[in-house]
Amino acid sequence: MKNIVNFFFELGMLKKTPRSGFQFLGSGRESVAEHAFRVAMIGFTLAQLDGSVDEGRVLRMCLFHDLPESRTGDLNYVNKQYVQVREEQVVHDLAKTLPFGPEIEELLADFRDGRSREAQLAHDADQLDLILELKEHLDLGNRYATQWIHFARQRLKTDLGRQLGSEITETDSTAWWFEGRDHWWTNT
């Protein structure tokens, strides 16, 4: 049980690990754990919309996709040009301490290879979360987010992901709570 408890403490590091790309964007902050939460929700949604995949597998990939960052930290695209991370070693070292470790290794290998439909949807969930975050920054006036959205959309793997990516860029990020809700603001 001690290894399980240690795993839970290690997961806590993801709440304290900042996503490093925001330093280049010039606005925003988010932890890896915050990112993983929305990725999981998006992944679940993509699996439901697809209808032909193992939704639990997509969800598990989304939950675990950035787990190695509890030990490596989050490397942005500039960092990755110079720093070599031994992610497979990180996953192996963590997995050997857990009774379900082999499943984590297999899920993350599939996610990394991106061959299965589940892995492609999980990958798209990861990118769609980034596109959503960037659209929020764009709507608040950060013009650099436009370039980032362009490249994130190019990384989408599925038609479903590309459809959602397009819809995100065309939707005001405040529309869900503001558009058509004038009565919320006038009838107090």
> What are the pLDDT digits (tens) for 63-96?
999 999 999 999 988 999 999 999 999 999 999 9
At 98-126, the pLDDT tens digits run 999 999 999 999 999 999 999 999 999 99
Q: Is 69 exposed, middle or buried (0-12, 13-18, 19+ CB in 10 A)?
A: buried
The answer on pLDDT for 179 being more than 90 is no
What backbone torsions phi and psi does residue 171 show, to the nearest 5 degrees?
A: -110, 130
Q: Domain map of the chain by residue range?
A: 2-174
The answer on pLDDT for 188 being more than 80 is no
Query: CA-to-CA distance for 24 and 84, rounded, in angstroms?
Result: 20
Q: Would you give the end-to-end CA distance of the chain in angstroms? A: 53
Tokens representing residue 110 in the block: 């599939």
Tally the residues of the chain: 188
Closest CA to 43 of 60, 19, 30: 60
pLDDT of residue 68: 97
What backbone torsions phi and psi does residue 31 show, to the nearest 5 degrees?
A: -90, 165
> The domain at 2-174 falls in which architecture?
Orthogonal Bundle (1.10)
Query: CA-to-CA distance for 79 and 66, rounded, in angstroms?
Result: 16
Stretch 149-164: mean pLDDT: 98
The answer on pLDDT for 1 being more than 80 is yes
Residue 183, SS3?
helix
Q: Facing residues of 31 across strands?
A: 18
Give CA angle at 128 (43, 53), nearest 5°.
30
Stretch 30-38: mean pLDDT: 97
The whole-model pTM stands at 0.94
Residue 19, SS3?
coil
